[in-house]
Structure formats: structure tokens, C-alpha cells
A and B are shown apart, each in its own frame.
Chain A
Amino acid sequence: MVLATQETLDMMRLRYGDNFAGRTQAIRYGETLRLNEVGIGFHPAGHVLGSAQIAMTCNGLRIVASGDYKDVPDPTCEPFEVVPCDVFITEATFGLPVFRHPDAMREVRKLLDSVRLFPERAHLVGAYSLGKAQRVIALLRATGFDSPIYLHGAMESITRYYESRGTALGDLRLVKDTKKADLAGAITLAPPSATSDLWIRRFPDPLTAFASGWMRIRARARQRGVELPLVISDHADWDGLTATIKATGASEIWVTHGEEDALVHWCKTQGLAARPLALVGYGEEDESATTDGEDAA
């Protein structure tokens, strides 16, 4: 049984096939369900299309599990909503004060500047296929960039789904239908793993960019051989995490999924009870995802 927003259910079906769950139930943002004594509500997390925080209320106590979230504008999804609560379970992917994401528009302009300076080079942007790719495209369109944008085949179905839900992404084409010469000076999006593999040999003089919050750290960008790091993240940065924690008004904070230590320490300096919450199956995900290719950050 999977309880999720309609968008999440749809995208799970696209990724995992029709039999991804025994039963499914769709829930809208703001809608409340009752499960025995517990009221359950879904609220926008601003992470990707359909992403939700889950609020559980029982006997006047409310616990909110944020899931992955970000508190900055994203033209491809509902904005993050602060849900006042007593216990806030927050993610901490970028839970160190060195992570402060710049304005994503500025990063996208860096990409466009590079295309102008190197018009003969194929600009290949590594971006997570769910959410990041569509956001980067939408940001490019927001600058007025209206040339075709090329996609790796693995991104097609999710991207078309975003379009079907009302995000206009302009002229999108598939790399496999395109001649090598036409990719010079063009922008192509691909899953991060593809940007360092045999696949890129089909591009003329490729310049590899990577859109990820991890690109804030130089050693990370260098290790991957990224020539144009774009600090664009779908997770809250340090300032976003700390501001959100305060805004919820929660007196107890459980920190999970990322750099827990620094955020737990910060909560304590603010007089908040806090502890790391080790979730099974989480923790090292982003590290391993970095080498396997798909990087959710």
C-alpha cells in the first residue's frame, strides 16, 4: 500500500512499472486522513514535483517529517510550506554551514555565458533525471533561452510527465535523434553517470557541467572531472535548514539523512532538543549515488 500525492504515484509508475505497489491511494496537499487516533496531512516540500512533508497529529501533539525539501523558488513544483509542529524530523543532506546555495538563476547564466564563449563545444549538463533536469530546463527558459535543449533518453518519460502537469519546457529533443555536429554549442542534459562515460563520445568537444549542491565543494567537482560546476540543489542549504527549523516552532528536532552532527549541534546552541535519527537505508545514499551516477542532490 502506497499513500502519496498523485504526481508521486504517477512517477513511481513511470519508473518502476505498473506493479510498483499492491495498492495505492492518492492524497492532495492540505487533505487530512484519519488513521485511528492519528490525523495525517500532506504538505508541499518544494523538493520536486509531488514531493510532500507528512504531518501526523495525535492528542494535540504534531510531528512533521519533512522528507527532502527546499525553501527556495522552483518553477516546476509547489513551494515549500512551513507546518508548525512540536517535533520536526528534518533532512540534513547539506547540513554544514559551508553549504549555501547561490541563486540558481545566476548559476544558469554561468552556463549560458559558457555557451556564448565556447559556441563550438557541446555543453553537457549532468542533472538528476527526476526534478533537477526539469528545473534546470525551466530556469534556462526563464532567461529567455529558446534554442532546442537535448535530452539523454533516460530523462524523456519523466520530463514529458512534467510537461503534462503544466510545466512548459519548450523545444526538447533526444540526443539519439540528433547528428553529432548539431550538438555543438547546444545544451544537453543527461544523468550524471552518463556525463563521464562512453556515451559522451558522440558529442563534439564536450564540456561537462554538473548541476548539484555538491558542486559547492571544489574537490568534489574536480574529482568528477567537472569543468563547469553549477551549484543548483533541490535540498535546503544550511541557511534554509536552520531558518526552517526555527519557523516550524518545534521544540524537538530529529535530524536524519545527511550531515546530522553539525545540525544537531546548532539546534542545541539554539536551546532546541535535538538528536540524530538513523534511518535504515539512509545515510550513505548520496555518497554512493555520486559514484553510481544518479545524484539526488
Chain B
Amino acid sequence: MNRFAELLDRLSYEPGRNNKLRLITQHFREVPDPDRGYALAALTGALSFKHAKPGLIRELIAARVDPELFALSYDYVGDLSETVALMWPKTPHAQPAPSPARGGGEEVATALPAPLPMHLRRGGLGGGEPLPDARQGHNNPPPPSLTEVVTTLATLGKAELPAQLVHWLDELDETGRWTLLKLVTGAMRIGISARLAKTAAAALGDKDPHDVELIWPGLSPPYLDLFAWLEGRADKPANRDAAPFRPVMLAHAIETDDFAALDARDFIAEWKWDGIRVQAVSGRDDDGNIVARLYSRTGEDISKSFPDLLPSLHLPGAIDGELLVLRQGRVQSFNVLQQRLNRKSVTPKLTKEFPIHLRAYDLLADDEADLRLLPFIERRARLEAFVATLDDPRIDLSPVVPFNDWTTITAARADPAAFGAGDDAEAVEGVMLKRHDAPYLPGRPKGQWWKWKRDPHIIDAVLMYAQRGHGKRSSYYSDYTFGVWTRGDDGDQLVPVGKAYFGFTDEELLQIDRFVRRNTTEKFGPVRHVVHEPDQGLVLEVAFEGLQRSTRHKSGVAMRFPRISRLRWDKPPREADRLETLERMLKADMEASPH
């Protein structure tokens, strides 16, 4: 458990993706089976046990410490698990024998009756002897391993949980206790995706992460067969899953200059739908029953969120497509679709109000046949036949947009309604260009698929606050809060509408950083207030994909994917946009998708 706790501790402070990968891979390299396998399971969210409620943790600490001291500590730290992990006292019976030296850091428990002669407490330092390797906050007997914790939790009855937790809390050190409490309360938010953890595992054996992804559905903790393969001690585990995920193919964003080198006749065009990319897979298990699963583009199984779509996947195969909400045959905006995401429970009311739909644009497998190496044009023909056979109202084809030259497709992108998208035009966020002969390749192969998004929304906003970034950017003010004008009690005032921390070039970052340092009006911890008056301040051109109503923001709106597209040194802040402009955009967006 201690090794895993050290890993989590370190990951929780590390902002860089590559550094996180290295830390995790290092862990897999140094920690033996089955502990490392359970670590992988914890990081990928593959562990399942009944979570302890915060109330239980409070009861446990209340039985151990003075309530006043707990209240003061909790108030200071602000996080329950962390407070308990840090102040959890030792039990008298678990104490090491009293020693005259506090030396290497063995704690003297607050309950110890007699003071120790502290002038003797110099330990072994004076004579240059090696320091005692005593571990602070670490009780006897040795702390539990991650394996012990995970396997015990899986079978433990509810009534036995409190005593077991106390036992472990007594045995672990501060970091171990923090990890244990995060684990058992199911609140392990440390910014690691399942994908990242699998990539780190793949790196252990110099394997392609896609290969791990491919066999993943057939694996289970503690992944002994996976690690054996990664370390070259065994063959690749077979994927016995009836409905496995296949790594997705991604598109490059096309730039104006790219067209010159491309021949329109080599390409097929489709609409780019503003929904969620999914892979809908079904297959037959050993008993011949259909197993259907829905995966996100990163291979996460999201079937539980869309039970209403699963019955439609009644033919064995693997569809690549877009998840959308359709009402009376019309595609709804992304805002509407979002109401269906990240829900704890999927109620009949939800599925009725937000009918889910799959718009198919590729077929990776047709029954047993793997189609991925066929040219796209052949896969498209198979897809059309497959969808026709499926004959299900929830699944349809993403239509091909006919064109002969780049001029036509430019016009189609500018006005999808006039080029066949009809009433669904508002849900089109651009066009996709796919080579006829492109096989289905994992990752983002060059020159096969292109995405050509419609132009983003643009507003001019005023820089209001700046915060330093993390990692490489820790000496730069690189996170910006910007606002637009609105009528306030004392005339016009700026109201924050969003935050952005990318979009600018390195050179622009230097310029903004200099501006922030020279124009700070106040500092609040890591946040700087930057001058924002009608005639003084910096106007940022902000590009974004869409707007949503938000109760969390004072302005009442929230942007999707905001980024800094240009610095408007030429523009005085008074000429920046107004909140009314955003509200009009929001209204237009809502009208396009009536509820």
C-alpha cells in the first residue's frame, strides 16, 4: 500500500502528462505482482467494492481524537480524508518501545505520560553516523499491501468495515492513510485517465497502447497475464471478449494550404456531427447470446449510460459513429445531448425526453469479419448494407455530401442546410473528408482523414485576472479569466465569462506575461488582478465552439472550448463585446433546438 500511496501522492502534484507516464511505468517496473496489477486497476477505475460514506470516516475519527482539535484541524485543512489521514493518532498498544532518542523521527505520541530527556535527542547525527531509518507515523505491524486492502474490501461485510478500517489506519503512515481513505470513499480524483494508465503499462514492454486497449476488455485485475506479456514472459493474452473495443481512427484538422496538394476526386465528404464519437459493438458470447457494448473514443465502456440504445445493436458487428439526441427526426444541439451525459442514473424520463440515436459512418467488423484493412469506399458499402439489414429507427447512416471540387465543399461547409443537411444543419460542425482508399488505421495517420470544422464563434473580451500555470509554465501567467461588458449598478462593468489557457503562441505568451506583471492592480495568492478599465487593459479575441446556460458563472453563460485566438493590442477595452451579444448567440442556439 505504501508504494501505491507514494505513487498517488506524487501523481497528485505532477502536471505533465509525460512525467505522469514515467512515474506510473516506473511503479509497474519496480512493484511486483499482484500489487502493481491492483494499482493498474485502481488507476483505470476497474476496482469495485462498496464505498464507505464520509459519515463513517467522521465516526471513526470522533472515537479517537478530541472533537475540538478535530474541528480546528478540519477547518484548517478543508478535506475530510486528508484531515483524518494527518491527525489519526497511534493506539497505545501499537507504540514502539520508548526510546531516549526521538532521533530519526519516531513520534512521541501525545498520550505519552512522561517527557523524555530531550537534550539527549540528537540521535546518531553528531558523529556522522548514518541516520536511523525510522519511518515517521508508521506503526507496527507492517502496513497492509494494496492487494490485501483490495481483496479484503471486495468480500468484507458492511458491519465489519469500520473495525477493518481502524486496523489499517493504525498500520499505515500519513500518505498511506490518505490513499486508503480516498480509495474506500471512491473519491480518488488525481487527474489520471484510464487511457493514461494503460499507456504507462504498454510502455513497460515497449508495446503500442492500442494493443493493450485491444485486449483490455478480456483482462481482469490483477492482470498477471498482461504483465507477463509486457515483460516478455508469455504470449499476448487473447481477447476473449465478445464485443471488444477497437482503437479509433482520428482525423487531422485541414488548413487552407493543404488543399493545393489534394485531389478532390480522391475523397468522400460527410458532415461532421456535433455529438459524441462512439463505437457500438456487438458480438456473440460462448452461448451464442448477443453481447452489445458502447465505447467512448478512448475505449471507455459507456454502455451503462445508454441502455436505451443497446437493444438496437442486435446484429454482430462494430459501428463507428456519432451519438446524438434526435427529436422528431431532428438532431438536437450538443447542449441538449449534454443533458444525458454524466448522469448517475438513467431514468425512463431521461431516455424519453432525450431519445438517443446513433448516426453511423464506418463499419469495422461485420459479424466475424474484420473490415479494417478494406478501403473506406468498400467499408462504406458494407456499412450501408449493414444499416439496412439492421433496420432500426435508432440507427441511421451519416449521408455522403456530394461534391466534385473544393469550391463545392467550401460552399457546403458554409451552408450545410442548402447542401442536404436541412433541418439538422445547426448540429453540423463542419465537414469530414475521407480518402476512398483509406484503411481504418488506429491513431491519427497522416493524410487519410481530414476534418474541416466550421469557423468558431469569436468575441472580444477583456483580460481581468491571470494565474500562473503549472510545470513548464509555472513562471508564466498563462491562465486567463476574461470578461465582457454588462450594465451594472454603477454603469457598465465587466463580468467574467470564461477562462482560457491556450490558443496563443509562445511569443504571445511572453507578451501577455509581461503585460500581466506590469499591470497588476492586486494580488490574491496566486491570482493577479490585471487592470481592466474602459481605456486601460488588454482585449483578447476569444474563439469558442458554443455557449451554455450556467448557474455557476455570475454571467449566466459558459463557453465550450474557449481559447485565445488573437491579442487585440489595437483595441481599447471599452470596445470589447457585451454580455447581450453572448445572450443573443445563446438564444439563437436554443431556438435551433427547441425543447
Q: A103-B136, A196-B468 are in contact. Are A72 and B121 (CB under 8 A)?
A: yes
Q: Which of B1-17 contact A (CB under 8 A)?
A: 10, 12-15
* A51-82 contact mask (Cβ, 8 Å, vs B): 1 or 0: 00000000000000000000111110001111
| A-side contacts of B134, CB under 8 Å | 103
A81 contacts B69, CB within 8 Å? no
A217 CA / B174 CA spacing, docked (Å): 11
A247 contacts B115, CB within 8 Å? yes
What is the minimal beta-carbon distance from A111 to any residue of chain B, in angstroms?
12
A228 CA / B13 CA spacing, docked (Å): 7
B82 contacts A218, CB within 8 Å? yes
| B-side contacts of A218, CB under 8 Å | 12, 79, 82
Say yes or no: is A27 at the interface (Cβ < 8 Å to chain B): no
Say yes or no: is A197 at the interface (Cβ < 8 Å to chain B): yes
A291 CA / B520 CA spacing, docked (Å): 15
In the complex, the chain A residue whose C-beta lies closest to that of B68 is A265
A227 contacts B15, CB within 8 Å? yes
B22 contacts A106, CB within 8 Å? no
Q: A247-B118, A266-B69 are in contact. Are A117 and B136 (CB under 8 A)?
A: no
What is the minimal beta-carbon distance from A285 to any residue of chain B, in angstroms?
17
Number of interface residues of B (CB under 8 A): 62
| B-side contacts of A265, CB under 8 Å | 66, 68-69, 72
In the complex, the chain B residue whose C-beta lies closest to that of A246 is B115
Say yes or no: is B62 at the interface (Cβ < 8 Å to chain A): no
What is the minimal beta-carbon distance from A240 to any residue of chain B, in angstroms?
8
Partner of A243, one of B86, B116, B136, B137: B116
Q: A73-B125, A97-B87, A106-B135 are in contact. Are A291 and B523 (CB under 8 A)?
A: yes
A243 CA / B102 CA spacing, docked (Å): 11
| B-side contacts of A159, CB under 8 Å | none
* Of B105-113, B234-242, B373-381, B384-392, the one touching chain A: B105-113
What is the minimal beta-carbon distance from B122 to any residue of chain A, in angstroms?
5
A17 CA / B173 CA spacing, docked (Å): 46
In the complex, the chain A residue whose C-beta lies closest to that of B14 is A227
A223 contacts B121, CB within 8 Å? no
A106 contacts B136, CB within 8 Å? yes
Q: Which of B67-124 contact A (CB under 8 A)?
A: 68-69, 72-73, 76-79, 82-83, 86-87, 89, 102-105, 107-110, 112, 115-119, 121-123
B474 contacts A208, CB within 8 Å? yes
| A-side contacts of B475, CB under 8 Å | 196-201
Say yes or no: is A239 at the interface (Cβ < 8 Å to chain B): yes
A52 CA / B38 CA spacing, docked (Å): 51
| A-side contacts of B468, CB under 8 Å | 196, 225
Partner of A73, one of B76, B119, B123, B137: B123
Q: A100-B174, A218-B79 are in contact. Are A81 and B470 (CB under 8 A)?
A: no
What is the minimal beta-carbon distance from A279 to any residue of chain B, in angstroms?
21
Say yes or no: is B65 at the interface (Cβ < 8 Å to chain A): yes
B119 contacts A79, CB within 8 Å? yes
Say yes or no: is A98 at the interface (Cβ < 8 Å to chain B): yes
| A-side contacts of B121, CB under 8 Å | 71-73, 79-80
B76 contacts A205, CB within 8 Å? no
Say yes or no: is A118 at the interface (Cβ < 8 Å to chain B): yes
A104 contacts B110, CB within 8 Å? no
| B-side contacts of A229, CB under 8 Å | 13
A219 CA / B83 CA spacing, docked (Å): 12
What is the minimal beta-carbon distance from B464 to any residue of chain A, in angstroms?
20
Q: Can you list 8 residue pairs at the A/B interface with Cβ under 8 Å?
A: A73-B104, A96-B73, A103-B136, A217-B82, A222-B13, A261-B72, A265-B72, A269-B66
